[in-house]
Every structure is written in structure tokens, then in C-alpha cells.
Structure 1
């Protein structure tokens, strides 16, 4: 199957968890046989709360900076960074600076149960 689209043509869906979080479903599970590809944005001053997912995440940071928590580790992530978040490991994001934090997030095509641990 072949598919071509531009990120500018994909609608941003506001996310209820956190503050200033949006998501574009670039490749939905219905469009791709093995993975879904999403683009998350977190506005300056925004955050995504500590949560777990039942599937792993592969992420590539496009722009901005954020304080990222994965398990017991905290670090600054910025453009060009690659992150692997194993299934079931708690993680959170808090933007740093005045730029929107934007990242691609790929997840396997499987049921994803999300549990918010703190707001």
C-alpha cells in the first residue's frame, strides 16, 4: 500500500491530559500495517503529565526543548534527539524556553492503554 500526505494537511487534535498538548495522527493504525506515526506538540509553558502506555514509544525530537522524565531519569531533550520509552515505563514532558516542543512518536499497532499517574 502506498500513501502520501503532508503534515500541514493533517488536523491537530487537542489532548485533554496536560497543558498545551496537540497531536496529529500522521499514519493511523488503519493506514499502516505495523505502526502508527504521530506528531505531538507541547506549547511553550505546557506539559504532558506523568503517565504510562502499554506499548513502547520510539520518538524523534523535531524542535524545541523539554525536561523529559522516563522512569527515574530526568534529562533535557532537544532537536535531533531520539528516545525509546519501553512499554509500561512512566514518562512526562515539560517544555523549556519559548519554543514549542515537537516530536514524532511511533507506536506499534496494538491496543494502547494509557494511565495518567499525576497531573
Structure 2
């Protein structure tokens, strides 16, 4: 078992205003999925992108939009998002506070 605080994990800047913490990785002994905490600054967004694996999100705090094939869907604390493989998507922080969410995706991205 590993118990830790996400705030003790190194912050990596992905793009301007978007930060990632890789809180569970192969280094921690996980074998199937990894976990990240993503933080998007106010009025920032991730670039639109897609990848050949599905992933799941749980919104911890903040508010924004999940943009995908279904259009722009409002998200906020407690929202769960499922993104199928190969679906173009991005996330936009529309609030004044940081949009923070947990991202679960395959450890081996094939």
C-alpha cells in the first residue's frame, strides 16, 4: 500500500496555465492504470488533442467546460467525465479559481 499527499508530488507544466502531478506511476508499483492530478489556471485551457486510449476524470474543484464530440459541456466539483479512445477533447477553465481534476489512464498506452 502507498499513502501519500498529492501536494508532495512534483508539479510539471504541460502548457501555459496547465500543470500535472503524476501521483501514481509504475515507480509506485501500479501495473494497470496511472493517476494524475491536473490543474488548469483561471481562463486557461488544454490544447485539443486525442489519443488511442480511453481515460476517466473526476473534477475535484473549480468549473469549466469539457469540449468533445458532444460539444461544450459544463463541469464542476463532483463531475465525472469519460473520454473514449480517439475522441478529440480539451478542457477550459471558465472560473476564477483553479480547475483541478483527477485523471485515470492506462499505464501502458498502446
Interval containing the TM-score (normalised by the shorter chain): over 0.9
Shift of 1:111: 2.0
Structure 1 runs of 4+ aligned residues shifted over 3 Å read none
CA distance, structure 2, for counterparts of residue 71 and residue 47 of structure 1 = 17
Is the Cα–Cα contact under 8 Å of residues 70 and 92 in structure 1 kept in the other structure?
yes
Q: What do residues 50-101 of structure 1 show as CA deviations (whole Å, max 9, x unaligned)?
A: 1002211110000001111122421110000000001110001111120110
Q: What do residues 7-57 of structure 1 show as CA deviations (whole Å, max 9, x unaligned)?
A: 1211110003xx300000010134211110000000001110110022111
State the partner residue of 2:17: 20
- Unaligned 5+ segments in structure 2 are none
Q: TM-score, normalised by structure 1?
A: 0.86
Q: TM-score, normalised by structure 2?
A: 0.92
More strand by share: 1
SS at match of 2:41: strand
State the partner residue of 1:33: 31
